[in-house]
Structure 1
Amino acid sequence: KTGQPLNLHAATASALANPFASPPLVEMARRGQKVCIVFTDGTRDVPDEVLAGGMLAELARAGVRPEDILLLCGVGMHRPSTPDEKLAKLGAPIVSRYRVEDSRATVPSELVELGEFDGIPLSVNRRAADADLLLATGIVEPHQYAGFSGGRKTLAIGAGGEATIAATHSPAMIDRPGVRLGNIAGNPFHEAITESARRAGLRFIVNVLKDAAGRVVSVAAGEPTATFSTLVEAARPLYECKVDRRFDIVVAGVGHPKDANLYQASRAATYVHFAPEQVLKPGGVLIIPAPCEEGVGQGVGEQRFYETMRSQPTATAVLDSIRSRASQAGEQRAYMLAKVLQECRVIFVGTRCPEAVAACHMTAADDLDQAINLARTWTTSDADVLVVPHSLLTVLRRGDSAQACPS
């Protein structure tokens, strides 16, 4: 669904001047403080140059010196960000004036342990936790496990330690009641990252909400819980979509930046299949147009996903393998995708890594016509087709509260 686009700079300035459940940032900061701003990596389409830039302007007004500020890119288990990506994210004026570094989840000396919560070991980047004032950016959008992304997740997962990422993304967590797309209440994943951010000392966030056209329609700032809750309520009518039946074929659009690699683009299959309301018939086909110009993905998590998928002869064998041992961060994507593949087929369209698609027990097609024709041979010649243009921004439901999906 589309919303009313905003003037991003003006909306950010207004949000910072009128924060939720918090004094303005200029009143929280003071000269001599060490400040850390955790921002998102290239897999999240967040206007960090404007959001971080707005916070930096407030910090300057409060007298905080540039040399006392660290901008930390929360890459989680993804690959490190490149210098060009940092420039694209933050802009040359910020990169040239401030320290900009990546988090490193696999380096124990760069982490601080925060104890356990509900059996989950909590740890975050030491430079973030040691800051006198800890801030974060983010985007509120549907998320497979957290219910909605954004809020504290930029810190707790983006700048979290490998043990935290592995435990929150493990089969044991994924299979727990409440861990569901679009669900916040009683969600153990959401509760764990909330507690991690609280213990780390996250005090202030600036998050955005985008519509189906990719336009920012809301900016909110302030105390993490109040800010996140406000944007989630605004997100539901934008992202929830009503369906009245099940379909033989679902075409699930991905879009930039998640279509850059197979690991990220495969979310389309799990977002559709594990939606609050099942929309694909048993034995149906999911079609995902995605170029995947980075192949499988270059990060540690992406490579673990690929090795786990291709090392087993079937999707069932993938699940058996993961369940038989302690899983590693990145393998959760293999676990979720394998569960999908037990019940339906998946076709990737226009991908630049067809061999990797095949190795992951899926099918590659050159174009959408070829994919539809192939899907019809697997289902029925008069197959019922649902098109979900923005599958990663869509929560499929039944009921009158959601907007109808096109079919």
Structure 2
Amino acid sequence: MIGKGYEQGTMTDGEARGIMAEALNRLDLDGKKVLMIIPDTTRTAPMPLIYKAVYETIGAKVAQLDVMVALGTHPAMPEEKIMSWVGITPEEHRSAYPKTRFFNHAWNDPDALAVAGTVPAAEMAEITGGLMAEDVPVTINKKIYEYDRLLITGPVVPHEVVGISGGNKYLFPGISGQEIIDFFHWLGALITIPKIIGVKDTPVRRVLNRAAQFLTVPRSAFCFVIHEHQLKGFFTGTPEEAWSAAADLSDKLHIVYKNRRYQSVLGLAPPKFDDLWTGGKVSYKLQDIVADGGELIIYAPNIDEVSYVHGHWIDQIGYHCRDYYYRRMEQFAQIPRGILAHSTHVKGAGTFENGVEQPRINVILATGIPEERCRRINLGYRDYRTINPQEWAGREDEGYLLVPEAGDLLFRYAGKK
């Protein structure tokens, strides 16, 4: 493993380029086909720096250096948007970067997928501590088998499903199929966000790493840590070891501890979140510091859709706490478990007793989603035009908290056991 991280100070582009060049030059890539697997624009990443450094280092000697966007179940990106994401124009693509083709992952296209193997139920029961016991086929985008090396590239931050994102997560769910996506998302929901987010060693991470063992294509990873828009660490090696080093740095930089909980938390969503499916991270990262019965407001005037891909499912079931589903799973058998998991993650903790649901906090949307739809999907509504964010600023002693760029840093209540 090669890498460096800074708790204080920042990493220069030159340092990052040096780490990448040293790592790539150690690999036998002459005449080989390499596939870079990268995040989409819902993540914060210095993709122009990374893509160009990789191409400049190995572009002349490889047969192909293609790029696949690890969409998971997010919408596909137009090719020109992918080019812009990696910092080049169509003309530069033709003239300076001709060995690259750009692909979107297609999670819901059976013809695009292959089954790499199956994790048997008994092993899953052991990995998950008995929470789930079923055979799980490990589906993956079959294009990976056209390449000699996978280069997994992505940021490492606290994550609501896996604990800390990055590494093999850019394979599962990044370029995998629905079976394993649904499995581990529901596993994360069963464990619940308070017990999993920001935790390094989780059953979900173990599932992802076990699934990756089925892949026969050699894998390397560039795992990096961004904090306050600055590159703080860059690590490369196997996906497991590079991720582990980056996760340790993320733990030091990406978690904010508060000594109290707040009656009203206003989270300002950054514009990279363009629907509630991605903007839900505001809830995931802030709900722990909201007082029982308090309100968490997702302020995102630019969001006017629940989910561009999954909105029809959410309109059908709404947002509810885990036990609303868990105690009546037979009633929701036709709903993908990944949808159920997203629903519970946004809604947060709560109880469901004698047919009555009692959420711990009230999640309120101050977005472009109409009030009628907010109520229908079981979330609160506030007209964003009536909100002045500065009214939350400087009032922590009164129980009000304003969080800019919400959804990036994880806020934890320091007083909980």
Code of the residue aligned with 1:158 in structure 2: it is: G
Separation in 2, partners of 1:87, 1:174: 35
Larger CA deviation: 130-139 vs 214-223: 214-223
Separation in 2, partners of 1:244, 1:45: 28
Compared CA separation, residues 316 and 112, structure 1 to 2 (3 A): closer
CA contact (8 A) 1:349 1:367 kept: yes
C-alpha deviation, 1:383, in angstroms:
5.3
C-alpha deviation, 1:282, in angstroms:
1.7
Query: Paired residue for 2:139?
Result: 123
C-alpha deviation, 1:48, in angstroms:
1.9
Separation in 1, partners of 2:371, 2:7: 34
CA contact (8 A) 1:349 1:366 kept: yes
C-alpha deviation, 1:389, in angstroms:
3.1
Query: Paired residue for 2:3?
Result: none
Query: Paired residue for 1:287?
Result: 297
Compared CA separation, residues 339 and 232, structure 1 to 2 (3 A): closer
Match among 136, 141, 144 for residue 152 of structure 2: 136
Question: After the TM superposition, which residues 210-359 of structure 1 pair with which residues of structure 2 at under 5 Å, given as runs?
Answer: 210-211=226-227, 213-258=228-273, 260-273=274-287, 278-293=288-303, 295-299=305-309, 301-309=310-318, 324-326=331-333, 327-328=335-336, 329-340=338-349, 342-351=359-368, 353-359=370-376
CA contact (8 A) 1:29 1:133 kept: no
CA-to-aligned-CA distance 1:266-316 (integer Å, 9 cap, x gap):
22223322xxxx4322211111111244522322x4543344318x9x998
Code of the residue aligned with 2:109 in structure 1: it is: V
TM-score, normalized by length of structure 2? 0.79
Code of the residue aligned with 1:224 in structure 2: it is: P
Code of the residue aligned with 1:249 in structure 2: it is: S
CA contact (8 A) 1:263 1:305 kept: no
C-alpha deviation, 1:145, in angstroms:
1.4
Query: Paired residue for 1:192?
Result: 207
Separation in 2, partners of 1:54, 1:306: 44
State whether structure 2 residue 67 is matched by structure 1 residue 71: yes
Query: Paired residue for 2:170?
Result: 154
CA contact (8 A) 2:364 2:380 kept: yes
CA-to-aligned-CA distance 1:368-402 (integer Å, 9 cap, x gap):
86489999xxxxxx9512333344233334559xx
TM-score, normalized by length of structure 1? 0.81
Code of the residue aligned with 2:11 in structure 1: it is: L
Q: Which runs of 5+ in 1 are unaligned?
A: 19-23, 376-381, 401-407
Separation in 1, partners of 2:322, 2:118: 33
Code of the residue aligned with 1:304 in structure 2: it is: W
C-alpha deviation, 1:215, in angstroms:
2.2
Code of the residue aligned with 2:20 in structure 1: it is: L
Aligned residues: 374
1:199 aligned counterpart, secondary structure: coil
CA-to-aligned-CA distance 1:71-98 (integer Å, 9 cap, x gap):
1111111111123421221222347622
Query: Paired residue for 1:109?
Result: 111
RMSD after superposition: 3.2
CA contact (8 A) 2:167 2:223 kept: yes
Larger CA deviation: 27-36 vs 140-149: 27-36
Code of the residue aligned with 2:19 in structure 1: it is: A
2:223 aligned counterpart, secondary structure: strand
C-alpha deviation, 1:256, in angstroms:
3.3
CA contact (8 A) 2:289 2:413 kept: no
Separation in 2, partners of 1:323, 1:284: 32
Separation in 2, partners of 1:41, 1:128: 18
State whether structure 2 residue 221 is matched by structure 1 residue 205: yes
C-alpha deviation, 1:175, in angstroms:
1.0
Compared CA separation, residues 361 and 270, structure 1 to 2 (3 A): same
